[in-house]
Every structure is written in C-alpha cells, then in structure tokens.
Amino acid sequence: MIEALGVPHTEVELILVNGVSSDFSRQIEDGDRVEVYPRFEAVDVTPLLRVRDTPLGEMRFVADAHLGGLAHMLRMLGFDTLYDNHFQDDEIAAIAGEEGRIVLTRDRELLKRRAVTCGCYVHALKSEAQLREVAERFDLARSARPFTLCLHCNAPLRPVDKASVLDRLPLRVRENYERFSTCDVCGRVYWEGSHWRNMRRVLEGVECHGAAK
C-alpha cells in the first residue's frame, strides 16, 4: 500500500500503525492510522522496531547507469561502489540482494523491487550535489577513506615506490612528484596532481557539510 502511493520501501525507516511500530508484513484494516517516516537524522529511534532485520553495516553501493559521476566520487571517498553503464535493472537488483549493497538510482520503480532492501532515490542532477545528498543521507563523512580505491575499477590502491613505476610516468610527473599509489587490477598510477587537488576540494566540501549538521 505504501509503494502504491509512490514511496519505495527502501526509503522507509519506520512505520507506525495506530502509534505502534510495525514492519511491512502488517495487514492494514479499516480505520488504521498509518504513519511512514524516512531516515531519521536528529532523533534516535533505535529502540523501536525497524523495517529491516539488521541495521546497515559497511556502506557498499551499486549505482544505476545514470549515476556514473556519483559512483566515481564515492570511490574517491573510499566507498566500494559498483557501476557499469550497461547494468540493467534486473542485474542491479540481483547484485543488491546478493551482496547487500545500497542501490543508488533516479528510478523509483527500481527501488520497489523485492530484492532491493536498501536504496536511495537521488534527487540532485549534478554529480557534486548528488554526492552531498548521499553523504548526508548515509552520514558518510565520518567513515570516508579518501583516495584508497581505484577510480576506474573500484579495487584497493597501495603505496608504491617511484622507481617501480617510473616507466609509466609522464616526464613532468617524474620531475615534480614523489608519492605514488597504484591499482594492482588495472595498473593505473595515481599521484597528487591538479586532479587530486580538485577532488580534495570536493571532498572537503562534503566533510565540512557533514560536520556542520
């Protein structure tokens, strides 16, 4: 009934029926008063029965085909985020169910699928605004580990000696940078250049926004 009114179950944090906390299995009867609440930011409702069997643990995401920029930025923050612009809705729902990932999408119908137990409808259109929206929704600032994942393939990065990657570096980079990390999956090498500084600016904005809440 809740979804019939346009609210995906993944957007629901608490259901009260006649003032009593309930889950999705409750059968509604004539005269029942139903209150539906989203995620609580300022009020601790932990003692109440939630609609999920267990609370969210490690934040891992799967993003739909419209959110490539957001997926890139979440990896930048250090959050395991699967993305492929060829993913179909069936695949995303299956991945979410099998791996316990949070679905990020601009498609409300995707969030209504039974296999999707946690998800977020992303309202913003621009990538930076989307990142701020998701970071606030899931309080990501406190658990971020910036620049620990490969932005291309989502695998962990590891520090590497400059000498071991020298043949993969442009001349200007060889002359101006000393600290490097690499991805063992795709072989990309990262350093703290202008792109890194731009990303740091974005992340600082997210972290400051989270701290000010």
Domain count, the chain: 3
- The 3-class secondary structure across the chain, one letter per residue, is CCHHHCCCHHHCCEEEECCEEECCCCCCCCCCCEEEECCCCCCCCCCCCCCCCCCCCCCCEEECCCCHHHHHHHHHHCCCEEECCCCCHHHHHHHHHHHCCEEEECCHHHHCCCCCCCEEECCCCCHHHHHHHHHHHCCCHHHCCCCCECCCCCCEEEEECHHHHHHHCCHHHHHHCCCEEEECCCCCEEECCHHHHHHHHHHHHHHHHHHCC
Does any domain span residue 134?
A: yes
**Domain match, 94 and 140 both:** yes
**Domain match, 140 and 77 both:** yes
> Residue 207: its pLDDT value, please?
62
Statement: the pTM of the whole predicted model exceeds 0.85: no
Does any domain span residue 207?
A: no
**Domain match, 26 and 67 both:** no
**Domain match, 46 and 75 both:** no
**Domain match, 138 and 67 both:** yes
> Residue 94: its pLDDT value, please?
95
Residues of the chain with pLDDT under 70: 39-57, 206-213
Does any domain span residue 177?
A: yes
> Residue 31: its pLDDT value, please?
87
> Closest Cα partner for 199 from 154, 153, 151?
151
pLDDT in tens, 55-67: 445 789 999 999 9
Task: Report the alpha-carbon distance of residue 149 to residue 66 in Å, rounded.
Answer: 21
**Domain match, 75 and 127 both:** yes
Does any domain span residue 209?
A: no
**Domain match, 113 and 66 both:** yes
Does any domain span residue 182?
A: yes
pLDDT in tens, 4-41: 887 888 778 788 888 888 888 888 888 889 888 876 54
**Domain match, 31 and 68 both:** no
Residues of the domain holding 22: 1-55
Does any domain span residue 143?
A: yes
